Amino acid sequence: MFRNRILTKIRAMGRGRRGNNYWGYFSSLGSHKPVASARARAKLGRSWPAAYPFEPADGEEKAMPVVVSFVGQKGGVGKSTLARAFAAVATRGKLKVKLADLDVNQQTAVRWARTRAARGSAYPVEAEAFNTIGDVLASVHGFDLIIVDTPGHASPATLDIARSSQVVILPTGASTDDLYPTVLLLYELEQMGIPKERLAVALCRLLELREEHAARKYVETAGYEALLGSIPERAGYRSAHNLGQSITETNEQSLNRRARTLMESLLEKVMNQLKASKTFQKQQGDGSIA
């Protein structure tokens, strides 16, 4: 639950206005009491998604949590890296987060969460391994945000995961060996009925800035969105993971800033999708054509 003075920041971000202090607001949420006034609830509407939850009124059923999934055609491109980072950011923001690891063989996210807890993190992340997205959705009660980390390959289950998600992120490297299968998967998901607006690419494991420019142009020329920011290939990120930290929690502030830029872009993507969904629901309720 968010304090009232945070609502303006969140709503502004949903309209695409990024304040310089937004990250500080989000990161410092834990120091504020969870209060939401009746006026704020009325303005945002009862259909406001549970990613930014309010206590339901008497007799009102709480909304389902928001699902953000990280998928791809191959491994080693940043799915687990970004899933863990987003989970850490949301947990710091006092959201109730479940990090669902669908790679039951490797369980990268689960092992990382155990290391994080064992090292006494003030913001432990709840992670669990699941066989299917159906198993995940059957255990979402009480959570605000479900983050799904998928295996290092696409499969028929990828479509089920995408259909169950408000936002689907496809991390990729900068080489055509990574970009081509990423764009191919985007096209296949779109052809199978996943709205293009739900999909976005995150650029990871880059070695230099010109790689980012070229990769972003490749994705956008194909007609898809690339999130702002990128994650470079740095030893500092690997060291953070070894300690149960995320890429926003390294010992190097320059690396943290790079990661935070991408996380803010992802947050904005989620907000925009939630606002679009709310508008769609309102149009349906009014009998107008969406």
Minimum mean pLDDT among 55-59, 94-98, 224-228: which range?
55-59
The reply to whether 250 falls in a domain is: yes
Domain, as residue range, for 11: 4-55+275-286
pLDDT recorded at residue 281 = 54
User: In the predicted model, is pLDDT for residue 13 greater than 60?
Assistant: no
The reply to whether 195 falls in a domain is: yes
Token reading at 233: 């290939």
Total structural domains in the chain?
A: 2
User: In the predicted model, is pLDDT for residue 47 greater than 90?
Assistant: no
Residues 146 and 81 in one domain: yes
User: In the predicted model, is pLDDT for residue 235 greater than 70?
Assistant: yes
Give dist(CA 89, CA 190) in Å, integer. 29
The reply to whether 61 falls in a domain is: no
Residues 50 and 111 in one domain: no
pLDDT recorded at residue 18 = 39
The reply to whether 210 falls in a domain is: yes
Which residues, other chains included, contact 211 with Cβ-Cβ below 8 Å and sequence gap of 6+?
174
pLDDT recorded at residue 76 = 81
Give dist(CA 233, CA 229) in Å, integer. 13
Residues 121 and 262 in one domain: yes
Burial (0-12, 13-18, 19+ Cβ within 10 Å), 29: middle
Q: How confident is the model at residue 247 (pLDDT cuts 50, 70, 90)?
A: very high
The reply to whether 239 falls in a domain is: yes
Q: How confident is the model at residue 168 (pLDDT cuts 50, 70, 90)?
A: very high
Residues 78 and 209 in one domain: yes
In order of 144, 204, 208, 259, 261, the CA distances from 211 in angstroms are: 36, 10, 6, 17, 17
